Structures are given as C-alpha cells and as structure tokens.
Amino acid sequence: MAKIAAKRRETEVFSLAFLDCICCGFGAVILVFILTISQKTVADTENVADVQARVKRLEHDVAMSQAEVDRIAQALAAQQVEVEDVNAKNTQDQLKLSDRKKELLLLLQQTGMLKDALSTLLGEKKLLPTDDHAPLPIPNADRRQYLTGVKLRGDYILFIVRMSGSMLDDTIEAATARLEDSDVKKREAPKWQRTLHALEWMIATLDPKTHFQILFFNEETTPVLPGRTEEWFTPGDRQALKDIIGKLHTIVPQGPANLERAFTTVRYMKHLPDSIVLFTDGLPTLSDSIPSEGSTDAQLRKQFFDAAIRQLPQRIPVSTILMPLNGDPASAAAFWLLANASHGALVSPAKTWPDT
C-alpha cells in the first residue's frame, strides 16, 4: 500500500505551492490593473477640465473675433456708402464739366465772332472821315488816376479856379517873389500850368452831354468867357472850347483870394450847378463880410473860409483839387470837412503832377 501511495504521489503535476504562486500572480495582475484604471480616471478628469478651459478661451476668442468682424463690417458698410457718394458726386462733376466744356466752346465761338465783328468795325472806322484833332486833348492821359477821386455828379458842373498870387509857386515866399515877374513868366509858372492841366483834363473827360461853366476868382470873380456868365458849355461845342482854351492861357495869377465872393456868385446863378469842383491851394485871404487890414493870420483866414461856406447853396457837392502850398497847414482839414459835409471829395495832386 505504501508503494501504491508513493506511486500516486509521483503522478501529481501541480502541487499546492504552485497554485499559491499562480493565485498570487493573478492577484498581483488584478491589483496592477485596478491601480492603472484609477490613475487613468484621474488623468482623464484632468484632461477634460483642461479641454473645457481651452474651449471657454476659444469661445471668448471667437466672440471677440465676431465683434471685430461686426465692427469691420460696419466700417466697410460706411466706406461703401462714402464710395457710392463719391461716385455719385464724380458723376455730377463729370456732367457739370461737360456742361462747362460746352459753355466754353460756345464762348470761344462767340469770342471769335466778336473778334470778327470788331475787325469789321475797325475797318469801317478807318473809312470814316475824321477830324484832324480832338476838341480838347487829354493832357498827360497816363497820369489821369491822380484826379479819379473827384465826384462829378449831375448834368451841370461848375469849375471854380483860384487865380491869386499864391498859385504861382508851392511856398508863400516863392510865390511872393514871383509877383515881381512879368505876366508871361507868371502864366508859365509850373504850379499854375499844373492847375490848368488839371482843369483841361477834367473838361476833356466830361460826358459829351454834360454842361459846364468856369469861374476864376482872386479879389474878384469872373467867368472864363466874359459876357457869357449865364451860359453853359458842352465838350462837343468846339468853338466854345477853342475860345476857352485860348482864354485859359491869357490869365495871369495875382492878388488876394476872396472865396466868399466866388460862392456868392454861385448863389445867384440862374441855373445852379449840380456839382462844384474847386481848384485852390489854401484858405482865402480876403472876405466881404469880415473886415481886415494888412496881413492875415491862420485864424482870420479860417474865418474867411467859414464866411464863404455860408454863401454856398445847400445840397451841392463840392470837390476840391487842393494844389500844394507850404505855410497853410489848416487848409487841408478845412476843405476835407467841406467835402465831407457836402458829399464831395478832396484830392491833393503831387507837386510834380502831371509830369511824373
């Protein structure tokens, strides 16, 4: 029996120790598996949280990008509107430019027609009979701007010209010295010649239909053509102009200046002038209403001037051509006030007018 038992034990393949090892190994495998599964679950949880955070960041970025896209879209829409406005304006400008081009072409055509008409008229003018000379040539026409400030209003213009001794020179001393000259030299005095040139220029530039008269004054007041005081002349009256020009060059400046008497003469004219142009070089030195003896000072001469102004008819503009005279500083202000009060003008030509 012992042999049989021993024999049976020899035939067993697995022993108890082997099974224990197998079980322990299987249990270790199971334990490792369980531990691995637990760590993977923690890792997966961490990955999900990270992904969710990234998703939120991406959603925020997408929202920001969408807002930027909307802003750009609005700006683009506004730019598109501006582009459409610019295109519309360009279209209008093109239409206007086309119209301007048409107008320009029409003007060029009209200009050509006018040039042709002008050439025709100039040719006809050459065939017309002409006079040898104008009734009264304008002296030094290139210097005419010196007197353009004088206002000649109305149809009847009266020129009042001072012909006292002061009109011989630009200073009282020099004018007094010239009083000893002959009448020929007095008439050729440069200041007196400038005065006559100014008068001739103004007559020559009058409208052909304008009437004019000329009064000269020193101690007395006389018309340019004695015996024709009540007449009014026109620039187109050649004979009258010829007589006037001839008379102008025979007048000799001398004596004192009584402006009051000159304005009194105007007051009693049958036909009052519409405008007066006064040629003088300073305040008057004589008066009918204010007595004086010997030399006169500036204050007395101002009184003479005020007395003369009182004789002027109302509402007649008085423009003064004030020739230069050193030694009479108050005259400019007095005649400026006269021009301002009567709505006239005050012009003071240069000493060298009209030569330079």
Give the integer Cα–Cα distance in Å for 185 and 85: 81
Q: Answer whether residue 13 is part of any domain.
A: no
Interval 173-178 mean pLDDT: 92
Cβ contact 236:135 at 8 Å: yes
The whole domain housing 56 covers 28-130
Distance of CA 222 to the CA centre of its chain: 46
Q: Please tell me the predicted confidence (pLDDT) of residue 142.
A: 43
* 321 and 179 together in one domain: yes
Query: Strand pairing partners for 325?
Result: none
Residues in the chain: 356
Quote the mean pLDDT of the chain: 83
Write the CB contacts of 175 (distance below 8 Å, at least 6 apart in sequence): 165, 166, 167, 168, 169, 325
Greater confidence (220 vs 32) lies with 220
H or E segment to which residue 216 belongs: strand 211-217
Q: Please tell me the predicted confidence (pLDDT) of residue 266.
A: 95
Q: b/e map of 156-175 (b: 16 or more CB within 10 Å)?
A: bbbbbbbbbbbbbbbeeeeb
Interval 110-130 mean pLDDT: 73
* 225 and 117 together in one domain: no
Q: Please tell me the predicted confidence (pLDDT) of residue 221.
A: 95
Give the integer Cα–Cα distance in Å for 152 and 318: 9
DSSP state letters, 260-318: HHHHHHHHT-SS--SEEEEEESSS-S--SSS---S---HHHHHHHHHHHHTTSPTT--E
- Model confidence at 144: pLDDT above 50: no
Q: Answer whether residue 23 is part of any domain.
A: no
Give the integer Cα–Cα distance in Å for 105 and 117: 18
From 130, 157, 173, the end of a domain falls on: 130
Helical spans, DSSP H, in 128-237: 172-178, 183-187, 190-204
Q: Please tell me the predicted confidence (pLDDT) of residue 96.
A: 84
H or E segment to which residue 64 belongs: helix 16-127
Q: Please tell me the predicted confidence (pLDDT) of residue 134.
A: 43
Domain containing 152 — which CATH number?
3.40.50.410
* 167 and 261 together in one domain: yes
Side chain identity at 78, as an amino acid letter?
A
Write the CB contacts of 302 (distance below 8 Å, at least 6 apart in sequence): 283, 330, 334
Q: Please tell me the predicted confidence (pLDDT) of residue 80.
A: 87
* 194 and 315 together in one domain: yes
* 147 and 100 together in one domain: no
* 166 and 202 together in one domain: yes
* 169 and 117 together in one domain: no
Greater confidence (100 vs 271) lies with 271
Among the listed residues 192, 189, 171, 177, the one whose alpha carbon sits nearest the alpha carbon of residue 326: 171
* 76 and 162 together in one domain: no
Side chain identity at 134, as an amino acid letter?
A
